[in-house]
Chains A and B, each alone.
Chain A
Amino acid sequence: MASVSIRNVRKSYGTVEIIKGVSIDIQDGEFVILVGPSGCGKSTLLRMIAGLEEISGGVVAIDDRVVNDVPPKDRDIAMVFQNYALYPHMTIADNMSFALRLKNTAKSEIAAKVERAAGILGLGPLLGRFPRQLSGGQRQRVAMGRAIVRDPKVFLFDEPLSNLDAKLRVQMRTEIKEMHQRLKTTTVYVTHDQIEAMTMADKIVVMHDGIIEQIGAPLDLYDHPANMFVAGFIGSPAMNFIPGILGGDGFTTEAGDRLPLGGRVPAASDGRPAVYGVRPEHFRLADEGLAAEVVVVEPTGSETQMVLRPLGTNANRAGAGREDRQRELTWVLRERTGARPGEVVRIAPNPALAHLFNPDTGLRL
């Protein structure tokens, strides 16, 4: 086990800078998830930790040893790839033992390690098969087995669940988390799926356009997003953003509705434009609230998700464009509802759980 320290790391291809100086401290035994939309540089960063990509600037250290110029095999890491990257012509047992065989490990030791890993992952009966004879979930488990057998200081996962179907993904998520709790190996995990990040991580690193937007525990990010990007990225369905103006002790939307702030008015903010952020589950029915037309009702059984179009905004007019559609609100309620599309409801946010952002910088006010 080991700590990983990433100090002001940069990566550029020619003149294009993909990673613009990121710093992360990963403690011994921690499960850290790098999350962000496609192209944000999270996989590149992981590959730089692995040694598969050159580091253009900054320092990567594993256990206080700078590994910038250390080849992948000497970094004592194991990596699980999105498309498994199994050796197609080798049996599962050979796949798992390949690294050990290269190191001329004693046969008895190899057998013991493979057996242990197979036991952890339930791969025992599959050891004699070839990768092509396995399902996607089994292949991913083999890829994990191959990592476990190495007994590395750090596990690196590059979107390992992206190729699996939804049900299997949930199952494998639990298995990976369980594996981490059992082995307590430092883990860096890349995903674009914020639910994976929320459910598995000790610490989430939200990346966007080659920079780190915020680092924190999952619920910290959820409750106190540093900016609009994190607020919108973490949480599903995404947070609602309502533009308007601060004034008096409240917030006035573009349509003229007053939203409560629960006494948390930032100083010297009268007349200042702001964005009011509220999570879909933090609305409730209220006579004095925002009037909005029900557009879509999506019952999932455990909860109901509703898309609403606030009255008095452009979103509600015929011929509303994409930008106007962004003014639509999502409301998630635990109770079942008889509301139908076309009906008008009045909802109010819970002021204690609302967020305010600067519309220009996106930063939290």
Chain B
Amino acid sequence: MSILTSSDRVAGAASVGRTKRLRPSYWPFIVPALIVVVGVIVFPWVFTLWMSAMEWRIGEEQRFVGLQNYIRLATDLRFLEAMGHTLVYTALSVAAPLVLGTAAALAFNTKLPARGLLRGIFVMPMMATPVAIALVWTMMFHPQLGVLNYLLSQVGIGPLQWVYHPSTVILSLVLVETWQWTPLVMLIVLGGLASLPTEPYESAQIDGANAWQRFRYLTLPMIGPFLMVAVIIRSIDALKSFDILYTITQGGPGTASETINLYLYSVAFTYYDIGYGSAIAVVFFVLIILLSLILLHLRQRSAWNSGDGK
């Protein structure tokens, strides 16, 4: 607008004056947060980036090597294998809790007797400490003494090697992850189900949709945005997963369950190759960011309840 009324001008001048006068007094509120963010997020990342360009072993001379560490990564078979394990582990630990959590949410969304109590029991695994869980599962996985093989023997299935065999170790770890995190997905989806409008279901009933069709064509697309939130949270969580893996297998047997996280840990803190470890951390970070972006984009597309949807 080119013409301002006198009152506009007065109000404008007043607000400029106020901003000027008040600006210095904002600093005390911002500085603590700024220090924390710079200290624990910005600085470590810049420092990691810088370290990844160095040849740096603890106790030895530091040397700038540019992109050497990254080139080494591309040809490091153990790293590539760890990347494969990470992706498989992540995909399975997202998919399994998602399917089971959604099923559980649908069950808890009905008028189940003692629903509150059952739901409370169901979310308990989520509240336990990962290391404690890992120790319990380690005992349960034991081929001779573990309860899992005992249970299998009761239904006539022979003993499995669980985490002690390369072919079953990742699946076994996914089992633990699924057991712990299905409740989270259940809670997210249950929240989604509770927010769904009920009227479309009545019109679908009249339109002739049976129970499966109502789930397939109404419930599933309508809880899509909530499922995507669960997928994003689970993906990032599973990618970063460390405690359960480290406590139960430490990447073994051999390197059969070694994920990027575990490999990074052993490079940096077992071999003390800080420069190379930093390069792995940077690649890992980029991987997480890329995945998050893809998922956020998918979430946007699945949203039917916001935006103009064009």
Contact = CB atoms under 8 A, between A and B. Distances in A.
B204 interface: yes
Contacts of B309: 130, 132-133
A103 B207 CA distance: 9
Interface residues on A, range: 20 to 34
Contacts of B203: 79, 81, 85-87, 146
Nearest to B196: A88
B202 A81 contact: yes
B221 A89 contact: yes
Interface string A33-71: 000000000000000001110000000000000000001
A98 B216 CA distance: 13
Given A79-B202, A85-B200, 7 more contacts: A51-B205, A73-B209, A74-B208, A79-B203, A87-B203, A88-B222, A130-B304
Interface of B: 197, 199-200, 202-209, 213, 217-218, 221-222, 224, 304-305, 308-309
Contact of A102 (B197, B199, B208, B221): B208
A122 to B, nearest CB: 21
Contacts of B308: 130, 132-133
A55 B206 CA distance: 17
A260 interface: no
Contacts of A84: 199
Nearest to A89: B304
B205 A73 contact: yes
A88 B205 contact: no
Contact of B206 (A72, A87, A133): A72
Given A73-B207, A89-B304, A130-B309, A52 B202 contact: yes
A98 B206 contact: no
Interface string A131-143: 0110000000000
Contacts of A77: 206
B199 A52 contact: no
Contacts of A88: 197, 200, 222, 304-305
Contacts of B200: 85-88
A73 B208 contact: yes
A23 interface: no
A83 interface: yes
Nearest to A52: B202
A204 interface: no
Nearest to B222: A89
Contacts of B197: 85, 88
28 contacts: A50-B206, A51-B205, A52-B205, A52-B206, A71-B205, A72-B205, A73-B205, A73-B207, A77-B206, A79-B202, A79-B203, A81-B203, A84-B199, A85-B199, A85-B200, A86-B200, A86-B203, A87-B200, A87-B203, A88-B197, A88-B305, A89-B221, A98-B207, A102-B207, A130-B304, A132-B308, A146-B203, A150-B207
Interface in A81-116: 81, 83-89, 98-99, 102-103
